[in-house]
Every structure is written in C-alpha cells, then in structure tokens.
C-alpha cells in the first residue's frame, strides 16, 4: 500500500525550502502578481480517496490545461472527424510557435499548441449555441462542482495582449481551417484559458481520463479509444517543447499551464495536480515538475 499522504507532505515541506523556484509568467498583471511561494498538491485515486497538501484548495488560472478539456468536449461532439483538421504529432516548439502551422498547410501539429487549440475552439463554436456557457457547464459537470468560474479580468487581459493568438487565428482562417469568425473563436479560447480552478477541482475534472471516459458523476462522455488518444496526446504533446523531459522525469500523461498548474494521471490508478507559479525556461512549473518526479519515483506509479 503506497502512502500518498506521507509522500506529498514531504514534497510540500521540501518545496518550502526550495531556493530556485522559477519565474512567474508576466505577460498579464493577473498572473504576474501571484506569490512565488504558493505550492499545492492533490491526489484523487481510483477508489476516490483523496490526499492533499499545501495550497491545494486555492484557485489559480489553469491556462493551457483547459486545452485538454476543450479537446475532450469537441472530440465527444464530432469524433474522429477532428483529426482532419488537427494533427497528432509533438511539435518540439513553444506553444505559440507559428511557422509549423504554415509548413503543414493550415493543419496545426497537435491540439495543444495554440494554433491547434484554436481549431478545437472553432469546433466548439460551430457545435454549441452558447459556447462559453456550455463549455463552462461541461467542466463543472466533469468536476462535479458548479462553483468553477472564468476569471473575467484574466480573459480580458489575454484579449488585450494576445497578438500571437490573433495572428494564429488569422493564419488558420486564411487556410480555411477556421469555420467561424476569428473574434468568436478567440473569445472562447481566451475565456477557456481564464478558467480558475484549484488542484482538487483539476483532479476531479481529469478523473474521466483515468477512468475509461466516465466522469465522477458516472456519466460517460468518451469511449475507451477516445480516452486512449487524449492520454497519448497528453504524453507526447502536453508540455510544450519539454514533453520528452516530462516523460523522462515523471512518466505520466499530463498537461501544464503558464499559471503554474500541472495535472497528470496514471490510468486506473490516480490523478494528481500540482500548483507552483514559478516556471522553468520552457514554461512548465519548476517545482511542480520536481514534485511529480519525486512522487512517481517514490511510488513507482508511472506508466513506465
Ligand atoms: N493563454 C496564454 C496563450 O494562449 C498562455 C497559455 C498557456 O498556458 N501556454 O498565449
């Protein structure tokens, strides 16, 4: 029997002593003003037992982690049609890189680089009557928590500063790979990135990916093959241009965001979320990655 609580208590104690904590994302003031000393970790296991340490119940901006939830929603709506418009290859490039999009004739490399996430947002805009409201409800239902909200200030700041995202959306549009107008797709994208969740809510929402496509409320949104594909994408593309390093150090499918969150899972076993806002040079949470490396090493619970 693995003692998750003892291990994560130790991880939190170590995190307090860390001198190198990485650098906070500073492209919008709402992220720049968060304390570098926040640290939370939460585990939800297959028996629905939970283990928590540090600031696991404090909300933060989930940013790119939302790309997995948007992918799950759009995949559940349109199935394999999706892969005609977005590829499934790791990029080895930062999340906002544009040149690959051009090389691939308007087909983004994968759904987790920004260009790919914009195509996913476009699918949602096409299929939903009120995209922002329905996407929020989808996330609330997955996590079984109706208190989850967008952070309006973050969404508006993203809009003010998101020049590369405007460029990517326009480029996609020029290739005919956005069906809706650029502004409505970007609106959904900026709001989804602004979702505020804590580590517990993230493990609750990602439970579906460790539980064969059935969420905490026992509702099935995805079939086995779809979950396999989403987990494969998280493993190969979930950490910007550091997916190889994450697989090497941690060995779990997962996704990070520039708000400092990471969520990762071992199918049938557990789901874990960490939050520490200091990022390494690749944009992934520095202490979050170290914590997950320690967790999988001590428990032996990785996919390898
Ligand atoms: N919202 C930001 C963007 O789209 C950052 C997303 C992320 O976590 N990489 O540019």
pLDDT of residue 101: 65
Which residues sit opposite 61 in a β-bridge? 196
Ligand 1 proximity of 158 Cβ (cutoff 6 Å) = yes
Please list the active-site residues: 64, 67, 189, 240, 258
CATH architecture of residue range(s) 64-193 = 3-Layer(aba) Sandwich (3.40)
For the sheet with 261-266, list strands across it.
50-54, 40-45, 270-275, 261-266, 254-256
Ligand 1 proximity of 191 Cβ (cutoff 6 Å) = no
pTM, to two decimals: 0.97
Does domain 4-61+196-299 fall under CATH 3.40.50.300? My reply is no
Ligand 1 proximity of 296 Cβ (cutoff 6 Å) = no
From the list 7, 233, 12, the residue with the least C-alpha distance to 111 is 233
**pLDDT, tens only, 232-265:** 999 999 998 899 999 999 999 999 999 999 999 9
**pLDDT, tens only, 146-166:** 999 999 999 999 999 999 999
As given in the structure block, the two tokens for residue 252 are: 């779990």
pLDDT of residue 50: 98
Please, where in the chain does CATH 3.40.710.10 lie? 4-61+196-299, 64-193
Quickly state the pLDDT bin for 100 (edges 50, 70, 90): low
Q: Which atom of ligand 1 is nearest to the CA of 283?
A: 9
Q: 27 C-alpha vs ligand 1 centroid, how far in Å?
A: 10
Q: Which atom of ligand 1 is nearest to the CA of 164?
A: 10
ipTM surpassing 0.90: yes
């Amino acid at each position: 029997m693995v003692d998750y609580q003892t291990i994560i208590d130790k991880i939190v104690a170590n995190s307090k002593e860390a001198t190198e904590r990485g650098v906070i994302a500073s492209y919008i003031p709402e992220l720049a003003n968060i304390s570098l000393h926040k640290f939370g970790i939460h585990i939800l296991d297959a028996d629905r037992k939970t283990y928590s340490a540090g600031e696991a119940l404090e909300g933060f901006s989930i940013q790119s982690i939302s790309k997995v939830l948007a992918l799950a929603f759009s995949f559940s709506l349109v199935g394999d049609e999706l892969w005609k418009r977005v590829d499934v290859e790791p990029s080895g490039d930062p999340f906002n890189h544009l040149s690959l999009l051009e090389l691939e004739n308007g087909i983004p490399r994968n759904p987790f680089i920004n260009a790919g996430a914009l195509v996913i947002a476009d699918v949602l805009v096409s299929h939903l009557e009120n995209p922002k409201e329905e996407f929020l409800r989808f996330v609330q239902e997955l996590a079984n928590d109706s208190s989850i909200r967008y952070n309006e200030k973050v969404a508006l700041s993203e809009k003010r500063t998101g020049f590369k995202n405007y460029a990517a959306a326009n480029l996609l549009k020029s290739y005919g790979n956005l069906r809706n107008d650029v502004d409505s797709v970007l609106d959904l994208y900026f709001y989804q990135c602004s979702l505020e969740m804590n580590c517990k809510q993230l493990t609750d929402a990602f439970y579906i990916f460790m539980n064969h496509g059935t969420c905490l409320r026992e509702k099935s949104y995805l079939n086995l093959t779809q979950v396999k594909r989403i987990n494969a994408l998280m493993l190969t593309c979930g950490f910007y241009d550091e997916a190889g390093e994450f697989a090497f150090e941690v060995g779990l499918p997962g996704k990070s965001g520039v708000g400092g969150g990471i969520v990762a899972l071992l199918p049938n076993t557990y789901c874990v979320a960490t939050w520490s806002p200091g990022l390494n040079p690749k944009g992934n949470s520095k202490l979050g990655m170290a914590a997950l490396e320690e967790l999988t090493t001590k428990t032996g619970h990785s996919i390898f």
